[in-house]
Chain A
Amino acid sequence: MSTTTETAIQELADRKYKYGFTTDIPMEAFPRGLSADIVRLISAKKGEPDWLLAWRLKAYEAWLRMEEPHWARIQHPPIDYQSLYYYAAPAKPAPKSLDEVDPELLKTYEKLGIPLNERAALAGVAVDAVFDSVSVATTFRETLAKAGVIFCPISEAVREHPELVRAYLGSVVPAGDNYFAALNSAVFSDGSFVFVPKGVRCPMELSTYFRINARNTGQFEHTLIIAEEGASVSYLEGCTAPMRDENQLHAAVVELVALDEAKIKYSTVQNWYPGDAEGRGGIYNFVTKRGACRGRNSKISWTQVETGSAITWKYPSCILQGEGSVGEFYSVAVTNHHQQADTGTKMIHIGRNTTSTIVSKGISAGRSNNTYRGLVKILPGAAGARNFTQCDSLLIGNECGAHTVPYIESRNASAKVEHEATTSKIAEDQLFYCRSRGLSEEDAVGLIVNGFCREVLKELPMEFAVEAQKLLAVSLEGSVG
């Protein structure tokens, strides 16, 4: 192959995944592999109190006794947990203010479209930037502090607000909940912490931007969001990683707690590197996300747009305990080439008159596999509970797969559960109609797919909806023709 063709191909690949660059700064990493000593090292590095180290070690013990789950419709070679680095961070000491952040890092986030400089930042959005294992900057902290909102790296929250962290950490996703949650609990190195006190509506959108940079490094962030009585907050996370031939592991845990009348809106635009067209490389995304609607009339709403990762294994769920509480799950999952997604939600109705809505849009192209897996569980005490589920699948081409696996368990006769599912293909006449109006085939697919996802995309905060639409179109490039 001539070098010009090679550069042309490289350019094409880069255009398709424009976040595939690496940042070259001195890094500090712990030795490869996982052991009780590594867990201790991480805890010591962060200067953690004994109770947290004990919690981590318990999680580690639990993890040792567990087995990697294999019930999802995904396939991958065995993951060698001893070959990974569990801690990697910029070698310079943590910056105390935005002015001290390494310029290389500022440039990185600039390139990713996330300026950390508060003047250049998106109006009304505060950002916590997590780079490999640590948070490197959090913007608008003072503005938020004035409103009484705490938004900081969780490692800092452990130091500054230990009573809050101790009260809530692991209260929604226990350390030994599942294999990946246990692993995360043992080695998590950062993540975001949000606390919105009683009666406060958070004055800005909060967002965390996760970036994996270092090679052979897993990212294990733990995010904890608490909305007290009558509080409300909207939080968004975005994720990218360099293009690498090897697979990298991302095993996060997110816990949400909503007290009486509180509202949490959690949105994800997941664009981890998906691997190349032949299925080489890409992120393994094994994530546990769960929200507890503890209070009366509380509400937790998950919106996710999942376009990246080689494998996505993720079921953001709601435990609807408070009377009249509401759980929502709006999801778009796109798989192309050899990507695999097994994603969905669990809605556990415990309290009376709890309601849940599930809208899932799965789009499969290339030779990918896309599964919706959901559980709606109505416990005996959940009189008057309601669920509405809608699962739509869109197929592009003949070599991909779409699967819907809904589980419904109702133990209260007064509950109403509705389920609708459709599978369709992009119709030839739709494509032709668009093309006859001047749209290229790829733009036509993008438009039709965005239309298919409309109900979910409209749930995203405005600032991110446009970005998500572009992302959908880009991730389906090369899927037709």
Chain B
Amino acid sequence: MLEIRNLHARIGETEILKGVDLVIPDGQVHAVMGPNGAGKSTLAYVLAGREGYEVTAGEALFNGQDILAMDPEDRAAAGIFLAFQYPVELPGVGNANFLRTALNAIRKKRGEEELDAVAFLKLARAAAKQLAIKEDFLKRNVNVGFSGGEKKRNEMLQMALLRPGLAILDETDSGLDIDALRIVAEGVNALRDGKFSALVITHYQRLLDHIVPDVVHVLANGRIVRSGPAALARELEASGYAGLEAA
């Protein structure tokens, strides 16, 4: 369970999050929508522990643990995964090597046995196949020269392997073709097991056709200004965000 209460955060002198309240019970998927610059990515980064974001008030608990006090790697080990809006390139770092290093780092922190190269490749190939990802993906350097959509698929591959308890998807659907969209949704749905939860940041209803959210929130000007059932997303697509920010 993710519990965010009265979360305030700033970048430098500018306050971006101005009191976010959001609770995602186990097993639920919540969508966060909202205008450009509202603070959606900021919320995602603060939850994942990026430097440069100063939390000035409020709290965020995951399964009762104060995650704001933890290093990013410890949050990852606790089960938080962020699929980046703009995945980062790592020149010279092989994708398979990166994935295995990450997986083993997390397994080690959780007191599980590390995987050898053979066992890992078996797992990675299976996951890649599920996501209709070409195998040469594993051999290439992390995100280097990947198309926009390929980068997003690569994020999903990482998620599938790391099996988080909470996935934060920051506009993972942007730049995806229709098939990829369905595959990403299947990737998320495959993890839904009654315990896994997700915070899905998106601008479009079409993703939510495939990943049906339990709750839809609107984040505007650093606050959740409206929450409602899945139908809210459709409503927003028709009416836009006008008038919501003042609420």
Contacts and interface: CB of A to CB of B under 8 A. Distances in A.
Interface stretch (A318-326, A381-389, A426-434): A426-434
A436 B87 CA distance: 12
Interface string B74-89: 0111000110100111
A52 interface: no
B141 interface: yes
A460 to B, nearest CB: 14
B123 interface: no
A450 B73 contact: no
B115 to A, nearest CB: 13
A443 B114 CA distance: 15
Given A433-B90, A438-B73, A443 B48 contact: no
Contact of A436 (B48, B90, B141): B48
A279 B89 CA distance: 35
A136 B89 CA distance: 48
Contacts of A441: 71, 73
Contact of B73 (A440, A447, A448): A440
B153 to A, nearest CB: 16
A453 B102 CA distance: 20
Interface string A396-440: 000000000000000000000000000000011110111111111
Interface in B37-76: 48-52, 71-73, 75-76
Interface in A266-315: none
B92 A435 contact: no
Nearest to A437: B102
B88 A435 contact: no
Contacts of A433: 84, 87-88, 90
B146 interface: no
Nearest to B73: A435
B124 interface: no
Nearest to B105: A438
B82 A436 contact: yes
B158 interface: yes
B101 A443 contact: yes
A452 interface: yes
Interface size class of B (residues with CB under 8 A): 20 to 34
Contacts of B188: none
Contacts of B49: 435-436
B109 interface: yes
Nearest to A439: B105
A111 interface: no
Interface string A437-481: 111110100011011111100000000000000000000000000
B120 to A, nearest CB: 14
Contacts of B228: none
Could you say which of A428, A434, A436, A452 has the most chain B C-beta atoms within 10 Å of its C-beta? A436
A452 B72 contact: no
Contacts of A452: 91-92
A137 B71 CA distance: 49
B101 A447 contact: yes
Contacts of A439: 73, 101-102, 105
Interface size class of A (residues with CB under 8 A): 20 to 34
B84 to A, nearest CB: 7
A437 B76 contact: yes
A281 B50 CA distance: 38
Nearest to B161: A437
A432 B92 contact: no
Nearest to A453: B92
Contacts of B73: 435-436, 438-441
Contact of A451 (B51, B93, B102, B105): B93
Contacts of A434: 90, 98, 102
B106 interface: yes
A269 to B, nearest CB: 19
A438 B77 contact: yes
A391 to B, nearest CB: 16
B2 to A, nearest CB: 16
Interface string B105-136: 11001000000000000000000000000000
Contacts of A453: 92
B162 interface: yes
A451 B91 contact: yes
B93 A450 contact: yes
A226 B177 CA distance: 60
Given A447-B90, A448-B93, 18 more contacts: A432-B50, A432-B88, A433-B87, A436-B48, A436-B49, A436-B75, A436-B76, A436-B82, A437-B105, A437-B106, A438-B76, A439-B105, A440-B73, A443-B105, A447-B101, A451-B93, A452-B91, A454-B93
A-B complex: 10 closest residue pairs judged by Cβ atoms: A451-B92, A454-B92, A451-B93, A437-B102, A438-B76, A438-B106, A435-B72, A433-B88, A438-B105, A435-B73
22 contacts: A429-B88, A430-B88, A430-B90, A432-B51, A433-B87, A433-B88, A435-B71, A435-B76, A438-B73, A438-B77, A438-B102, A438-B105, A439-B102, A447-B97, A448-B93, A450-B92, A451-B92, A451-B93, A451-B141, A453-B92, A454-B92, A455-B92
